[in-house]
Amino acid sequence: MQPPESWYPYRGRIIGLLIGLIIALLLITIGFGYTLLIVLLASIGFIIGAWRDCKIDITSWLQFFMK
């Protein structure tokens, strides 16, 4: 099922809203520490996946943070 064409200009806002809603629900149900751990591990997983897909250059990131 595809979303309506009129939603395409707002897809970033819709995705951001859904992510915010999920994080808020996690904060309410499991607490700050566990939610922070989940977000951190998901971010690390995303970065590793993007690196494996050759969509991100880890060496340039490391050089940026080592300055």
Distance (Å, rounded) from C-alpha 2 to C-alpha 8?
A: 11
4-57 residue pLDDT tens: 888 788 888 888 899 999 999 999 999 999 999 999 999 998 888 888 888 878
Structure confidence at residue 61 (pLDDT) = 77
pLDDT of residue 10: 82
pLDDT at 40: 93
Global pTM reads 0.69
Distance CA 29, CA 18 (A): 16
